[in-house]
Amino acid sequence: MTSSITNALPSLGKARILINSPDDVVVVSAVRTPFTKGGLKDMLPEDLMKVVMQESIKRAGVKPELLGRPRSARLLREYELTMSDVQVGTVLPPGMGATVARMAQLSAGIPYTVPLQTLSRQCSSGLQAVVNVANSIKVGDYDIGMAVGVESMTANYGAATMPPAFSDDVMENPESADCLLPMGITSENVAKQYGIGRKEQDEFAAKSQQKAFAAQKAGLFKEETVPVKAHWTDPKTEEEKEIIVDSDDGIRDGVTAESLGKLKPAFAKDGCTHAGNASQVSDGAAAVILARRSTAQKLGLPILGKYVGSVVVGVPPKIMGIGPAAAIPKLLENYNLKVDDIDLFEINEAFASQAVMSIKHCGIPFEKVNPVGGAIAFGHPLGATGARQLATAFSEAKRNGQKTIVTSMCIGEYPT
């Protein structure tokens, strides 16, 4: 299944993308909340958004009172900052989506003169928000913008959130009907079609937990994470408390392939997908601020990295998890790159089946992928994960002197 992309292209592209230009789009801050299964269960999406919006502004050194000013030659001469957009990615938008996000923006101190949009590209919504802001900066719409990803799966996830019915005419198309397959079934489809066995999946999942636990124990997530002062109700006593949530609570010590091998399949009697080799249902948010390099330099903003480009590729809905296997080679081809040119890959672990398939298909060494674990360990708050991957990747690259990063996700969503 290894793609020929690994050795087919010259490495001239790497030198090209590492050249800096005043018109580059750069990341000036990237931060996330902890991802939790219970710690943030009583926090609403607008609460989570407010936290990361404020923290991303603080880390970038942005003055909120300047964010809403119109772009003008005078402001540029004075090197004052203008923010012309906030893009919020979310899959399960409560309260009409844009309304709740707008409320969070205003509460965070970003003035009403800064417009806001909510968007959904399913599980890649947070990453798509980053792409939208980057592309708008590239074409000259504005010089700086904020991308946010958020999801409260405690509040808004489940079959009850789905429409009561779908069009019979549309459902006559088999691929349309496949869009309603539970994600766990698509995982089983990928495993069967591409020969990804239970043992291989469990080994990958255990490794994700082991890497994440080691990183958490070493304090490696502190740089990318903002602690959250959370309202929390004790499920046993119903006592309401205010707690500080400062770490991901889905990461487990002592997980092995052998321990995962004892779990029963969740979606088919003869299947291989189960709670231990799939991403966790969780809550969280992340925010990324991007700017034109010349503006960032004039303002003295920190530069974490440069945005180069992105691609989106469609795949059959019944095997939606293979998205990274299709998108990564296309991205590398577009920029004349090889797998060897990339120092770090952040590939979402919706399921071990699709993650393993994608890594093997692209010919990526496993040690280059998710070096501090992935969604199997952290959890996967749907709209937030793409932005989280960037915060994690920049933090990891900084520690290890790495220069090139690829993030990728499969995109699909129907409650399982």
Name the pLDDT band for 51 (thresholds 50, 70, 90): very high
Instruction: Give kind and range of the element (H or E) at residue 344.
Output: strand 344-347
Cross-strand pairs, 228: 245
Stretch 388-411: mean pLDDT, rounded? 97
Residue 2 lies in a domain: no
Separation between Cα atoms, residue 164 and residue 302, nearest integer Å: 48
Q: What is the pLDDT of residue 98?
A: 72
Residue 204 lies in a domain: yes
Q: What is the CATH number of the domain that holds 126?
A: 3.40.47.10
Stretch 210-225: mean pLDDT, rounded? 98
94-129 pLDDT, tens digit per residue, is: 765 678 999 999 999 998 889 999 999 999 999 999
Domain hosting 293: range is 14-155+178-410
Q: Pick from 227, 210, 226, 258: which is nearest to 370 by CA?
A: 210
Q: What is the DSSP letter of 267?
A: S
Whether residue 384 has pLDDT greater than 60:
yes
Q: Two tokens at 98?
A: 């844009």
Task: Name the average pLDDT for the chain.
Answer: 91
269-287 pLDDT, tens digit per residue, is: 999 999 999 999 999 999 9
Separation between Cα atoms, residue 374 and residue 412, nearest integer Å: 18
Residue 5 lies in a domain: no
Q: Pick from 154, 136, 89: which is nearest to 117 by CA?
A: 89
Separation between Cα atoms, residue 330 and residue 326, nearest integer Å: 7
Q: What is the pLDDT of residue 77?
A: 44
Residue 170 lies in a domain: no
Active-site annotation, residues: 123, 380, 410
Angle, to 10 degrees, between the axis of helix 385-400 and the axis of helix 125-138?
70
Residue 354 lies in a domain: yes
Please indicate whether residue 67 or residue 52 has the higher confidence score (pLDDT): 52
Residue 9 lies in a domain: no
pTM: predicted TM-score of the whole model, two decimal places: 0.92
Residue type, 187: S
Q: What is the pLDDT of residue 161?
A: 67
Whether residue 205 has pLDDT greater than 90:
yes
Q: What is the pLDDT of residue 73?
A: 42
Please indicate whether residue 160 or residue 23 has the higher confidence score (pLDDT): 23
Stretch 231-241: mean pLDDT, rounded? 92
How far, in Å, are 95, 113, 140, 406 from residue 155 at the CA level?
12, 30, 38, 31
Q: What is the DSSP letter of 279?
A: P
What pairing do the DSSP bridges indicate for beta strands 25-32 and 305-307?
antiparallel
Separation between Cα atoms, residue 391 and residue 303, nearest integer Å: 13
Cross-strand pairs, 44: none
Residue 96 lies in a domain: yes
Q: Number of structural domains, the chain?
A: 1
Residue 168 lies in a domain: no
